[in-house]
Structure 1
Amino acid sequence: MKIGIIGPTGAGKSLLATKVAAHYKATLIEEPVAKSPYLPIFYYNKDTMSFIAQNAFYSELFILLYKQRHNKNYVVDSTMFSNLVFSEQLHGEGYMSEEQLELVYRIAEQGLNHLPPIDIQVVIQRRSEQLVANVHRRGRDIEKGQDEYLAKHNANYYPTLQNIYNRYHVDMDHILWLPIEDMENPDEFASIIARIDAKYASLTKGAK
């Protein structure tokens, strides 16, 4: 089973991916954005670095997933659609031009054509106050002073993601919208696993 975790900044993608991968004894693929040298430059100079950084993040994730293209059992803490959400929002805020956004989409389409589809995309749904609290709790230096940017990103994340799914005619049967309160709670995590199992069972049943 190939699972992608997607959600806004502060949703807990890395934590959920780690826990789900451990549960299924699957390969954990961690998006390298947090360690990317482009990330701090992007946060402090969005006008100049948005287009360059988005393509760098996208390329790094593509390389990771391409190396795992024959692996049928992994969990990744992002998907190829995640970067498109950020690109759309940066365009909406004036940090990327229409031409730059369209180039990002053309690159994305080539990337998607060279990767096998993910079985289930788990979309973490959080309340805005949860997202803010999680960002503050983890205390990354590069995210300090970014509250206004992150608030706009989080407010528009889910509608933007749905529009991108529509653009690519993504089969919504493969999308699991997952409201989460506390994934560290054993009962809630058991419920999360039960929902993933049920989603996968419905997909495999339909394939027979």
Structure 2
Amino acid sequence: MKHRYIVVEGPIGCGKTSLAHKIAHHLDASLLLEDTASNPFLRQFYQDMRRHALPTQLFFLFQRVEQIGSLRQPELFGAKPTVSDFTLAKDPLFARLTLNDAEYQLYSRIYDHVKPQVPVPDLVIYLQASIDTLIGRVNKRGLAMESGISEDYLRRISDAYSRYFYDYDESPLLIVNSDRLNFVDVPEHFDLLVERMNAIRGGREFFNRA
């Protein structure tokens, strides 16, 4: 496999974790998942975003740096490829949405200091989905801590991802419209995705199913 470090990214509810599991199983790869449950501030954040935004964001930043930074260790980033459901690049997207200007300036100084510690993915799969699809998937999984997520917040997150990946050039990028694709339950859809992953050489490509 030419891609040693593959990341699946996208807004809340796009299906990135399920797809990361599927790809990792297919490639017999190591799986690196975002550990949202261990963030002690997250539940309070969804109840009062303004009050708890800074500690929530800083906890995630240091957690993600530690997780991704571990890939630089040869014994952890060895024979098997690694598939992850997050990048460090997602962190400032959420920070810009939730922090005030003074907090964001502090956050940005810390982010710029720690960013060089993490490796760049060999391939990023960016999952897009409509707001209705995102809302439906969030409601379907029924996580208590996500019950306070509003449609407006999901829309702002989705827009932030779109703006970020519009100019993204750090890695080969496969942009996938996932509204009509079910990679977990429809083998044909997953097989088509694997074909596109294997064929991509650089730059950006688009994968959509009418």
- TM-score by length of structure 1 reads 0.83
Residues 75-105 of structure 1, C-alpha deviations (whole Å, 9 max, x = no match): 1111101122211222xxxxx2112112222
Instruction: Give 1:31's aligned residue.
Output: 34
Query: Residue 121 of structure 1: CA displacement?
Result: 1.5
2: CA distance between counterparts of 1:165 and 1:107? 22
Unaligned runs of 5+ in 2: 203-210
CA contact (8 A) 1:80 1:108 kept: no
Kindly indicate whether the alpha-carbon contact (under 8 Å) linking 1:88 and 1:160 is maintained by their aligned counterparts in 2: no
Q: Does 1:17 align with 2:20?
A: yes
1:122 correspondence with 2:125: yes
Residue 21 of structure 2 aligns to which amino acid in structure 1? T
* Cα-Cα RMSD: 2.1
Identity fraction in percent: 23
Alignment deviations for residues 98-142 of structure 1 (CA, whole Å, 9 cap, x no partner):
121122222222222111211111111112111111111111011
1:27-66 counterparts in 2 under 5 A?
Answer: 27-66=30-69
**Equivalent residue for 1:74, pick from 79, 82, 99:** 82
> 1:62-81: CA deviations, max 9, x gaps?
11111122416211111101
Tell me how far 1:165 sits from its aligned partner.
5.4
SS at match of 2:72: coil
Within 5 Å, which residues of 2 pair with 1:1-208? 1-70=4-73, 71=77, 73-90=81-98, 96-146=99-149, 148=150, 151-164=151-164, 170-171=168-169, 174-180=172-178, 181-184=181-184, 185-199=186-200, 202-203=201-202
Matched pairs, number: 192
Structure 1: gaps (5+ residues): 91-95, 204-208
| Deviation of 1:145 (Å) | 3.5
TM-score when scaled to structure 2?
0.83
Change (3 A) 1:45 1:159: closer
